[in-house]
Structure 1
């Protein structure tokens, strides 16, 4: 069993952690108050780009660059990360004249970026630079200069990339989110790029999970209850929709059957049905439909179009199997 931590040592550790967050947080606030002068121009350049945003950097800037490229790509801006060193050995061929390059270097003097810079200048490829030095080689060569605000690194020796990488990452997020807004990026667009996992499940529409066609348990209003029971049993959803003039006029559930046991088989479907049933639209998010199922304590819902015509049926198990929670 490990000995108990010294209280003064623990307090010192927590103080160090708090100091790092305060330094980085203040730097972010400073950047929010004084955004890079060329930020709007860089956003406009990317919006006008007919190709992709090529992101590159070395070391910690490279790691941050990969994340920026991934965020851009998942939010509607085609982007790709090119390793700066590999670019000098053939990967420059990944960059086309319709692309935009976003190069990251805190010092602005990273030697591995020189061939990328030269390539963009040779072929007139727009160059956006992120750096903390306005007079650096990278910034002087760039078309759009995203200058990071002066801020100390948060590490105890003031050398490890901490504040600078946080600022760069946040600036990449600001670019991506601004581009999302300008493009009118919607939740359904987000789902196109996130079909897997929990994010994808939360973006699934009702129409993607519902049962349609002959699987939908529907009967006309004057159908006798013997036939109605056969439809309910064969479809297996525990409900039947009752139609009048092609529209959903009511729904019969197991509860309706129990409440109308006396003379049940001598009656018509419309006599048993509950009127004004709860329904959902096919373009509704399945997560919202599941919330309705839970709130109403029911297991299935009819899906209707804008005119009230039933186009499908959604069961709670369909949502759960798809990972919608």
Structure 2
């Protein structure tokens, strides 16, 4: 059987299509590099302006630029900056009531001459709200009305006819991402704050704190070092899901060891039955790998994968047992964890 990919040979009829598609991507990438190289301290001015005002960032734009404005609005909101989208046409029919004196307006228009935006700009200026414009030229109507202009430059649209907004909207999106993420860093926005705004989906799961997912201490089999193995497995029981590990703690409830089902199986395979009535501390794994309760779920997944563990004790700042992460728990929350090899802790 051939090891070549199924689509390794490009049909002649597809050649022109792929060539055109690659040229479009390459031309947009080149435009981004050009815009990035030309970017100056005006971006810093925009960052300072937004950070200095307690209100929200009001995004506005018409058509394709309006769709990009909505995406930038979502990025700002999810990274720590309150933001709302205001449709230019709807604004002059009552939606201007959403504006507040502490807000900042971020307007998008490549030409800077979009009719609906031109009608809106004088009203925003009359309300004394500062405008940040993302546009091709500072001399456009939007450019002149803006306190800060993030200039895209004269960009050619991609494609054979160079008509449909493509390169320009890609540039607007990149400029908006740059502005949003620089502001987020300046605010000291943390991954845990990001998780607060993304409780669903894979991002939310990865950034979820372990203490939201772990089996609490009350559901973990816990014993002292002097307990025999037999007692630990026969007499100890816990409500909820069963874990294949017993956690050993000292008098201060600090984790000192772990003993797993796999450890028990090895004793039986080696015919060391007499060890079952000996203290569990003689065969436990000393100083097992642990993780802090306020760490992220992704950190737990990475640790399980790196150390090839099945059970991971969770501790507080004093190294006292707080709970347990079992590999079966993580698989349900994080698809990548399904590849973790199940081995004894």
- Do the structures match in fold with TM over 0.5? yes
Paired residue secondary structure (1:219): strand
Counterpart for residue 289 of structure 1: 300
Say if 2:211 and 2:294, in contact at 8 Å, map to a contact too: yes
Instruction: Return the offset for 1:233.
Output: 4.3
Partners of 1:165 and 1:190 in 2: how far apart?
26
- Does residue 257 of structure 2 align to residue 250 of structure 1? yes
TM-score with structure 2 length normalisation?
Answer: 0.85
Aligned Cα RMSD in Å?
2.2
TM-score with structure 1 length normalisation?
Answer: 0.90
- Does residue 91 of structure 2 align to residue 80 of structure 1? no
Counterpart for residue 238 of structure 1: 244
Say if 1:37 and 1:146, in contact at 8 Å, map to a contact too: no
Partners of 2:43 and 2:306 in 1: how far apart?
46
Partners of 2:262 and 2:161 in 1: how far apart?
71
Partners of 1:220 and 1:130 in 2: how far apart?
65
**Residues 114-154 of structure 1 deviation map (CA, whole Å, 9 limit, x = unaligned):** 34312321221111111113222221111111221122222
Paired residue secondary structure (1:133): coil
Partners of 1:81 and 1:227 in 2: how far apart?
64
- Does residue 191 of structure 2 align to residue 184 of structure 1? no
Say if 1:231 and 1:240, in contact at 8 Å, map to a contact too: no
Say if 1:256 and 1:274, in contact at 8 Å, map to a contact too: no
**Residues 217-237 of structure 1 deviation map (CA, whole Å, 9 limit, x = unaligned):** 211222344432235444521
Counterpart for residue 304 of structure 1: 315
Instruction: Return the offset for 1:21.
Output: 2.4
Instruction: Return the offset for 1:99.
Output: 0.8
Partners of 2:88 and 2:214 in 1: how far apart?
48
Counterpart for residue 125 of structure 2: 121
Query: Unpaired segments of 5 or more residues in structure 1?
Result: none
Instruction: Pick from 273, 290, 296 the counterpart of residue 284 of structure 2.
Output: 273
**Residues 194-233 of structure 1 deviation map (CA, whole Å, 9 limit, x = unaligned):** 1111111111222221122322221122234443223544
Partners of 2:145 and 2:282 in 1: how far apart?
79
Say if 2:56 and 2:103, in contact at 8 Å, map to a contact too: yes
Partners of 2:103 and 2:258 in 1: how far apart?
56
Query: Unpaired segments of 5 or more residues in structure 2?
Result: 1-9, 337-345
